[in-house]
């Protein structure tokens, strides 16, 4: 299996939110499955979900970078009050340009 920032438990919760299980570490063979009416996902299904979760996380990296770079709402309102809308918009646009989609 490839290394991800997500765990097998994350993938199972994403695939089957109502499933009841426990997992020791991050090992498919150490999953205890308690949901009799829900089939346990295969290793291939879990790996595919881990890839999807990781790709989605990576695709949204610009959002996290922007959130860290934006001034607080209070600072933005103060900038808008003192500098006007165009000054505020230019500052926000600079951050969007620095971290494009």
SS3 call for 54:
helix
Tell me: do 55 and 67 sit in the same domain.
Answer: no
Q: pTM score, two decimals?
A: 0.72
- C-beta atoms surrounding 88 within 10 Å: 19
Which among 11, 82, 21 is positioned nearest to 47, based on CA atoms? 11
Print the domain residue range for 76: 61-98
Neighbours of 15 (CB within 10 A): 16
Tell whether 35 and 69 lie within a shared domain.
Answer: no
Helix 8-15 × helix 43-59 angle, to 10°: 90
21 plus 41 within the same structural domain:
yes
pLDDT tens over the chain, length 101 residues: 456 699 999 999 999 999 999 999 889 999 999 999 999 999 999 999 999 999 999 999 999 999 999 999 999 999 999 999 999 999 999 999 999 99
């Amino acid at each position: 299996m490839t290394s991800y920032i997500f765990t097998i438990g994350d993938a199972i919760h994403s695939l089957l939110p109502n499933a009841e299980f426990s997992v020791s570490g991050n090992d498919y063979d150490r999953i205890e499955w308690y949901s009799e009416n829900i089939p346990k996902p295969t290793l291939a299904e879990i790996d595919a979900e881990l890839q999807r979760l990781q790709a989605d996380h990576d695709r949204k990296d610009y959002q996290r970078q922007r959130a860290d770079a934006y001034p607080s709402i209070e600072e933005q309102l103060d900038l808008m009050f003192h500098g006007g809308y165009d000054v505020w918009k230019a500052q926000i646009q600079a951050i969007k340009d620095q971290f494009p989609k």
